[in-house]
Structure 1
Amino acid sequence: MSMVRLASITCFAAVLVVILFAGLRSEPVPQVFNHQDWLHHAAAFAALVCSARLAFPRVQAFWMVLYCLMLALLIELGQGLLPMRTASVGDMVANITGVLIGLMVAGGINRQIATRRVADEA
């Protein structure tokens, strides 16, 4: 396994752990402005999908998106079971937005990598 691949998988694992910890802790993350949590959700799931696409390039995008959306839904449902948390449709919309952003960013990075490989081979 190459160092780049190991770093990609480590990054993905770290993002996943942070999302699970923040999403399932008993108290919500403090907010400075209204709906700041939507920004957190979108950024977290963008980072998750992007790191997943880079760590596991052979997994089809459809499955990656499906797994990430299932994780988002399970976290939201889990929050509904916690006393100081609530499940939110707005949070889920932010999660979906983050997944789509992460998919686009990962696509751009993968195109850059492919372009550099072609240039290096020439």
Structure 2
Amino acid sequence: MIPLYRAAFFTALSAITVLAVIPDYSCLPSAVSISDLLNHSIAFSVLTLLYRLSFSHTWKRILASLFAYALLIELVQAFLPTRCASIEDVVADSVGMVIGLIVSRQIVKSVPTRDDRD
């Protein structure tokens, strides 16, 4: 199961990175553009959940890593001509991380996740 979770994590991470730097959201389907802040929260909830299922890191390390990633996205967007950095996005990402941790706590109890041999 671990390789599947890790593949899903890195796929989601790659997709979010591409979406973060894509110059024009109008080329995306309308379902993807529901609400920017809602998209951020959902994306980081999923990332947090997949991270927790994929690696045996502490919740503090998970939050620190994903928070650094959220800041990096905003830093990159500050230098893109068609994007802008936003503290609101980082807050929405953080809300998503907390939701992801809460959900993952319940799932980790019932799903085989980490293997000590990793």
Task: Give TM-score scaled by structure 2 length.
Answer: 0.84
Counterparts of 1:28 and 1:83 in 2: how far apart (Å)? 14
Counterparts of 2:66 and 2:58 in 1: how far apart (Å)? 13
Counterpart of 1:119 in structure 2 is none
Counterpart of 2:116 in structure 1 is none
Counterpart of 1:51 in structure 2 is 50
1:23 aligns with 2:20: yes
* Percent identity (aligned): 30
The higher-RCO structure (CA 8 Å, 6+ apart) is: 2
Tell me, yes or no, if the aligned pair for 1:48 and 1:102 is still in contact at 8 Å: yes
Cα 1:93/1:31, change in 2 over 3 Å:
farther
Structure possessing the higher radius of gyration over alpha carbons? 1
Q: Residue 65 of structure 1: CA displacement?
A: 0.7
| Per-residue deviation, residues 13-71 of structure 1 (Å, max 9, x unmatched) | 11100110001222246696x98100110000000010000011x21110111000000
Counterparts of 1:8 and 1:82 in 2: how far apart (Å)? 32
Q: How many residues align?
A: 110
Q: Letter of the aligned partner of 1:47 in structure 2?
A: V
How large is the RMSD of aligned CA atoms in angstroms? 2.1
Counterpart of 2:75 in structure 1 is 77
Match for residue 107 of structure 1 among 98, 105, 108: 105
Task: Give TM-score scaled by structure 1 length.
Answer: 0.82
Moved over 6 A (4+): none
